[in-house]
Amino acid sequence: MSEMTRRSFLPLMGAAAAGVAPARPNILLILADDLGYSDPGCYGGEIDTPNLNRLARGGVRFTQLYNCARCCPSRAALMTGQYPHRVGMGNMTGGKPRPGFPGYSDRVSADAPFLPAVMKKSGYTTLMSGKWHLAQPGPIDRGFDEFYGMLHGFDSFWDSSKYTRLPAGRPKREYSRFHATEAITDHALDFLVGARREAKPWFLYLAYNAPHFPLHAPKELIDKYEPVYAKGWDVLRAERYERMRRLGLVDKRWPLTPRSVVGPNRVSTPNGWAAKQNPPWDSLDADRRRDLARRMAVFAAMVDQMDRNLGRVIGDLEAKGDLDNTLVLFTSDNGACAEWDPFGFDISSGPQNVLHRGEQLAGMGQPGTYHSTGSAWANLSNTPWRLYKHYTHEGGISSPTIAHWPRGLSGRGTFNHQPWHVVDVMPTLAGVAGAEAPAGLSGADVSAMFAGKRPKRGPIFWEHEGSRAVRDGKWKLTAVYPKGEWELYDIEADRSEMRDLAGAQPERVKAMVGMWEKWARENQVVPWIWEPQYPAAQ
């Protein structure tokens, strides 16, 4: 354990000073899938999330934990403590590997150390229930003792055949009425029963695939939310923004952004932006509004259901006396998903949308359906930021994040505004556990934040599908998709990214582009879409 980490956990170290051996904490890492920054109630959303809200009241909400803009890269960074390109996951599993481009190999390097292996070596029981999406080697080979869930990226929540139990032959529940969110929680609770018999601390990675499409949820929960979303995205974005301001999540200097452009469909203008803005809600006809309200109601129901199941886990920890010494860290893998247009899509027809009418509306979200919310609702989920998953503007890379740990956390019920990144999670959790993190990680042990301190964190970098960014202190440089021009923002004064200062500060832009291109070369981020701006940096 580092000196910084040792100083951070005074409650535990105090026990040691009194002659009592401090128990290393259990660690529960919870990852939601495509959850937007403002979707949870404790981040300003209208969705009922009482269990997340409870964790927030008793813990700390982090306002600037950054992800990698998309699922596989974020999960690779989370598990390895490395920027995703450095371990081969600059794009996605199932993508086309590019010979000579090792940062985009469609799988994580076989020799990359994973967080569960680090925890296991330190004496932890290691458990995973949920979505893997990191190709082979799979979760058991990477260090987990037990696994249940979906090995690939997305699939039906209603079909149990899409979910796997590993090692093969281990007990697996059978269901007369299956839903993935319930089953993932059931197996996580079963794993905890076994872990407690080991009399060792445990690490549980609970990686829900909710609320990623396909949008699937119990009908009674969907019915609960349909009237809420009949108000439309314009009204609800304004309401979320005001709640966020009252909560203290949004600085009064940061305006609510205009409706974002449609994406990520690559319909481009000369500077790389998608050409069309999400439409005003009131411009749509009644049938389209009903279809869209139902879509977002399914999404909200999925978040509600995830929160209820999270409540089952928290209740179990409380009942078994484990909650006080369990570090719970909740976050999301990227911003909300805009695929593919303001009206969503239905996979049976490819990246197109289907207009549901009449009796079709009641069937949305049920077995046999397979649709998404679309870019305009994703814009609501990411209130008040611009853009979405895939992009490196704040809407794509900002995750709602909560830490809860009664025995080791200070500042309960507060916000922490320190910028950090998912590459920091691996070394940070290793530090909390007293485990030895591998050398040469991209991430830093910032566990001192849990004690209310502000550990120094250097620049943070991004690239995904040509969208790219660097954050250095309060300054952020970002660009979108092929040929997008660099934009410069003072995030302290303008996290909404509404005032581009690139034209006014060309020397700062040049210096930060140089920083980014140096990082890109060192981390296997090659110019496969854009071209370097400065020949000297090639």
Residues recognised as catalytic: 71, 133
Distance CA 355, CA 294 (A): 11
Q: Is 99 exposed, middle or buried (0-12, 13-18, 19+ CB in 10 A)?
A: exposed
Q: Is 275 exposed, middle or buried (0-12, 13-18, 19+ CB in 10 A)?
A: exposed
**Residue 257 CA to chain centroid, in angstroms?**
21
CA atoms in the 13 A half-sphere facing the CB of 465: 21
* Residue type at 414 in one-letter notation: T
Q: Is 20 exposed, middle or buried (0-12, 13-18, 19+ CB in 10 A)?
A: exposed
Contact by Cβ (8 Å): 407, 11? yes
Q: Tokens 């076989």 label which residue?
A: 110
Token pair recorded at residue 55: 């964790």
Phi, psi angles (nearest 5°) of residue 473: 65, -130
End-to-end CA distance of the chain: 39
Q: What share of the chain is helix, strand, coil (3-state, %, to 5)?
A: 35, 15, 50
Distance CA 385, CA 259 (A): 10
Contact by Cβ (8 Å): 52, 398? no
Q: How far is CA 330 from CA 29, 59, 110, 289, in A?
A: 6, 11, 27, 33
Distance CA 400, CA 389 (A): 14
Distance CA 476, CA 512 (A): 9
Count, in order, helices (H) and strands (E) of the chain. Answer: 14, 14
Distance CA 322, CA 309 (A): 17
Distance CA 171, CA 153 (A): 23
In 3D, which of 433, 503, 438, 338 has the Cα closest to residue 29?
433
